[in-house]
Amino acid sequence: MSDEPLPAGVERRTIGGRERLATRGEPVYGEPTDGEWRAWDPSRSKLGAMIDLGMDVGLEGGERTLYLGAAAGTTVGHVADFAGPTYAVEFAPRPMRELLGVAADRDRLFPLLKDARRPETYAHVVESDLDLLVQDVATRGQAAVAVRNARFLGDDGRLLLAIKARSEDVTADPEAVFSDVRSRLSDAYRILEDRRLEPHHDDHLGIVATPR
């Protein structure tokens, strides 16, 4: 847990007898609450871990956002609590059904059943010049996905990327994987900060970057 200032729309609140990250919104999946505030568990959210560890994610509230790898909506639900229009891309139909339930209480959250590796299939829906690209896609070629989707970010936009080493190569040393990812990102992004996400997530790297 870091003492760094939190992004706008995120607070540390005592919920269930201990201090937790929280956003103001409708609870999902039975998470603990404090009035209008719902707990944000960093052990279930890579972005939550980045914030809890004090990375400078640069969120000020109201960001127009593209979220890749939305799954059942745990993290993107928190993002939509404080961001602006949030496009949530998920490839698998089963978690998409759950994501639709999260979106039902959030009029700024727009689920898209699409493949993040093929941004051309949703370019007609997602606006350009976005403020924020959040990516948590557990597949080989995570850097390539981020590069392909850079087209949606404005010049001052920001990439918040979680890299899972085992999704790239289960046999490789994680640090070697992370070094390769940094290199592959370099043509499209300037990395501002990166950090391992332990103790919340083993063999994961959080990256904050901006388009070149």
pLDDT digits (tens, 9 = 90+) for 55-110: 999 999 999 999 999 999 999 999 999 999 999 999 999 999 999 999 999 999 99
Amino acid making up residue 190 = R
The answer to whether the annotation marks 74 as part of a ligand binding site is yes
pLDDT at 132 over 80: yes
Compute the average pLDDT of residues 148-164.
98
The answer to whether the annotation marks 57 as part of a ligand binding site is no
* Average pLDDT over the chain, rounded to an integer: 96
pLDDT-based confidence at 160, cuts 50/70/90?
Answer: very high
CATH number (domain holding residue 119) = 3.40.50.150
The answer to whether the annotation marks 75 as part of a ligand binding site is yes
The answer to whether the annotation marks 210 as part of a ligand binding site is no
The answer to whether the annotation marks 65 as part of a ligand binding site is no
Domains identified in the chain, total number: 1
In a domain, 26, yes or no: no
The answer to whether the annotation marks 143 as part of a ligand binding site is no
Q: What are 174-178's contacts with CB under 8 Å, separation 24+?
A: 174/203, 174/205, 178/205
Q: Domain residues for 51?
A: 41-211
Q: Token match 């043509």: residue?
A: 187
Higher pLDDT, 187 or 181: 181
In a domain, 59, yes or no: yes
8 Å CB contact between 161 and 207: yes
In a domain, 71, yes or no: yes
